[in-house]
Chain A
Amino acid sequence: MDAELTFSREIGNLMYASHGNPIKDCLQCGICSGTCPAVEFMEHSPRTLIGMIGADLKDEVLASNTYWSCASCYHCTVRCPAGIDIADLMYALKRYSIWKGKHEDLIGPAFSEGFVKMIVRTGRSFEPILAPTYLLKFNAIDLIREAQTASTLILKGRMPLLPKKLKGLKNFQRMVKRIIPIGDEE
């Protein structure tokens, strides 16, 4: 029995709760990458990434932006002939990379974490709060465009100016703390 926890086994364990077959079933057929609509924006195709995990290339996998370019459209999952839930794997790798503090340069981690913090605070989503998580990475022209779009939406009545809060917020937050020990509000 191998006592050492290799990277591929670590990821395999992360996938334990996944509802597809283990990633070691991968044939490397490439249909996932042939299907993926975002593959051109990924450093490694989904298939390559699974190959890298199997080869225990931990650092390379954690440095790859592949899973943060995944839109979770599940097209790969339904076409995979080995029955692997690849989109779920991408979620698992997102969680893993946040845990390891990787990808500070990407918008994805900051956005997701910001989103969760917002929900824990209020229970409801309010777009303007999330702005700092990504606007800081935009250049001046893009910022101006965002502002234009936002004001048009406000004028059309599609952007509320104030966030909403749950009525039962206290219970809600207690519920959240039972799952994940998020500290007191900032």
Chain B
Amino acid sequence: MSEKIGVYVCHCGTNIAGIVNVEEVTQWAGSRLKERGVVIARDYKFMCSSLGQELIEKDIKELGLTRVVVAACSPHLHERTFRTACERAGLNPYLSELVSIREQVSWVHTDKIAATAKAKAVLSGGVERVIHNEPLEPLKVPIHPDSLVVGGGIAGIQAALELADGGNHVYLVEREPSIGGHMAQFDKTFPTLDCSACILTPRMVQAGNHPNITLLTWSEVTKVDGYVGNFEVVIKKKARYVNTELCTGCGICVEKCPMKVVDDVFEAGMAKRKVIYTPFPQAVPNFPVLDAPNCTFFQKGTCKACEKFCPTNAIDFNQKDEDITVKVGNIVLATGYDLFNPRRIPQYGYGRLENIITSLEFERLCNASGPTGGNIVLKDGVTPPKTVGIVHCVGSRDQNYNGYCSAICCMQSIKFAHLVHERTGAEIYNFYIDIRTPGKSYEEFYQRVLDEGTHFVRGKVAEVTDVARSPEEEGKLIIQVEDTLIGKQRRIPVDMVILSAGLEPRYDAKETGKLFGIACSADGWYIERHPKLDPIATMTEGVYIAGCVQGPKDIPATVAQGAAAAARIQGKIQQGEITLEPIRASINEDQCSGCRICNDLCPFSAILFHEDRAVSEVNAALCQGCGTCVAACPAGAISGTGFSNEQVLAQIEGLLLLNIEKIESNKVPA
């Protein structure tokens, strides 16, 4: 044994020492594992402390240690700590191992004798493995200073502006004709009751004009190749049929267009728009878009009114979709959410009965630039409601639809109550299970609306029907619910019902995720690197998520996430290069038979195939070291650096104490 191994066993206060006899394990390692190369074995109360680390550094320098094994907590917590300590002392950090005798021993066993024996085995495993460790150098890849932000809602806009203000170039891609996202549809935002457009449009304009932002609306990402720092992205610029070099945004084409269709995106189906249109007056950019499938010219070959009247000849019916390829170093996905479709709850009557609308539809109703000029009226377009029912938790907190809470519907419903109160004299009923008002000034907002006289009925609505059972119910919509606070079933007649529908991932979130190499959870939201400590990063280096794409949240949290993603990226760009963990798979070309089984198995699309030599190669920058290809290769040609077959097998032998004399089984430890 030519290696000189230092063993350090941590007490972790009483976390480990309370169950495992730490001194015994240390003594055992020092004596029994001596022949395996252990030259020093120490135990210490808190190895992760600076004093603990100094122990290691001192031994490396003075004893010339070539390997270090620490038996303490999980590598998830302190692997980096001990690697860095080794590095400081001049030992390659990858020549150290941290084995867990806490999460895997002291925290899961109560039998002290058995736990101590297990700790010895675990330590022995670490020792056997570390012998096979090789010094590794982390990979450094250059970072392209440009970034891509996908999604032009408030999250994407925030991220793009921060990156751009930081002096970096950003591509902001948005699939609708204008940026703004859902926030542009809202009337007022809670709890401040700011006019949504008023606080959003300055940002939109900034983003539209910023010298460092290339705004690509009516565009979609179709291909992503490469890896962190070096992505190559293909963006399809869909044909607007408007030459943006010539268009002045005067709007004459929109005025003259004779065809109207229902706008089920921006106006949520509440109003119509022209076939050539800008989605809303403050659209950025202000260039209209022609909806070809509904256009008379494209369908029948006639009309062309827009072209006739355009003063700058900007209409171009021959325009085609255009693909552009850009190189970026980092990507932020901020594609937002879709609304739960209440048609899935037939007993709420949505889509069957009139005057039952969703939250987004109500936002449009309230909005001054909406279909009714901001007047809250019934379907007839004229009559204001005398009673309004607002239903919380539609499609949320319900195992029959989505089990999660959509975070914003309570505040949104309370906001609606306030708006209805402000603009009509209506009696208002909110139907809730719990009132969730955790944010700043949120509870106060609820109290304000209580003061305004809105009736809050605690009960999940059972049915919304138009079938009257008494004279006062005739001609009304009746909400049937148990008022749980008084324990009575009530039938409350209203004129209008607003359904606070839950938030759902975009209908194509899964496919989009695949494009960028990130995964969705069971609920369909993108998976963050750590739900508590890293909500904006993903398991794929270089791809970040911000806003509702990671889960339902309000605007402050969304903006914070957009900014956080930008900050993270700026940090990377500033360093010029990024360091990647060298725990990677590598393919032995001589053994590779070119069967390509590994190619499709790789969840990170990190394996390329060289046609000329008929062998596969792992792209070390994309590889996350998951080990799938290592296991799958029928020729055994793939090995993990830092996770080689030799290392794993040695660790198993160590765990089974095969390389040392067996401990007598019934020996009671001293």
Contact = CB atoms under 8 A, between A and B. Distances in A.
Touching in the complex, A and B, CB below 8 A?
yes
Interface of A: 21, 27-36, 39-40, 44-45, 47-48, 78-79, 81-83
A82 B399 contact: yes
Interface in B477-498: 480-484, 487-489
Contacts of B397: 27, 29, 81
B487 A34 contact: no
A45 B399 contact: no
Given A35-B462, A36-B489, A79-B462, A30 B399 contact: no
A128 to B, nearest CB: 36
B482 A33 contact: yes
Nearest to B432: A29
Contacts of B399: 21, 81-83
A27 B463 contact: no
B400 A34 contact: no
Contact of B460 (A21, A36, A39, A81): A81
Contacts of A45: 482, 487-489
A35 B463 contact: yes
Given A79-B400, A81-B400, A83-B399, A34 B433 contact: no
Contacts of A48: 487
20 contacts: A27-B397, A29-B393, A29-B459, A30-B459, A30-B482, A30-B483, A31-B461, A31-B482, A34-B461, A34-B462, A34-B463, A34-B481, A35-B462, A35-B463, A45-B487, A48-B487, A79-B347, A79-B400, A81-B398, A83-B400
A40 B462 CA distance: 15
Interface string B383-425: 0000000000100011110000000000000000000000000
Given A81-B399, A81-B400, A33 B489 contact: yes
Contacts of B488: 45
Contacts of B188: none
Contacts, number: 65
B487 A29 contact: no
Nearest to A79: B462
Q: What 3 pairs across the A-B complex have the smallest Cβ distances?
A: A34-B462, A33-B482, A81-B398
Nearest to B397: A81
B481 to A, nearest CB: 4
B458 interface: yes
Interface residues of B, number: 21
B489 A29 contact: no
Nearest to B462: A34
B484 A30 contact: yes
Contacts of A33: 459, 482, 484, 489
Given A33-B482, A34-B459, A34-B460, A39 B398 contact: no
Nearest to A29: B460
B482 A47 contact: yes
B463 A30 contact: no
B398 A34 contact: no
Contacts of A30: 433, 458-460, 481-484
Contacts of B483: 30
Which of A30, A44, A45, A81 has the most CB atoms of chain B within a 10 A radius of its CB? A30
A40 B480 CA distance: 13
Nearest to B489: A39
Contacts of A32: 482
Interface in B448-489: 458-463, 480-484, 487-489
A28 B400 contact: no
A31 B489 contact: no
A48 B485 CA distance: 10
A74 B483 CA distance: 21
A39 B482 contact: yes
Contact of B484 (A28, A36, A40, A79): A28
Contacts of B487: 44-45, 48
A28 B489 CA distance: 14
A35 B479 CA distance: 11
A48 B483 CA distance: 11
B629 to A, nearest CB: 40
A124 B488 CA distance: 40
A130 B559 CA distance: 70
Which of B463, B480, B481, B484 has the most CB atoms of chain A within a 10 A radius of its CB? B484
Contacts of A36: 489
Contacts of A39: 482, 489
Contacts of A31: 459-462, 482
Contacts of A34: 459-463, 480-482, 489
A21 B399 CA distance: 11
A39 B482 CA distance: 10
Contacts of A27: 397, 433
Which of A32, A35, A40, A48 has the most CB atoms of chain B within a 10 A radius of its CB? A35
B167 to A, nearest CB: 50
A34 B398 CA distance: 16
A28 B482 CA distance: 10
Interface in B497-553: none
Nearest to A25: B399
A36 B487 CA distance: 13
Nearest to A20: B399
Contacts of B463: 34-35
Given A34-B489, A35-B462, 12 more contacts: A21-B399, A27-B433, A28-B484, A29-B393, A29-B484, A30-B482, A30-B484, A31-B462, A79-B400, A81-B398, A81-B460, A83-B400
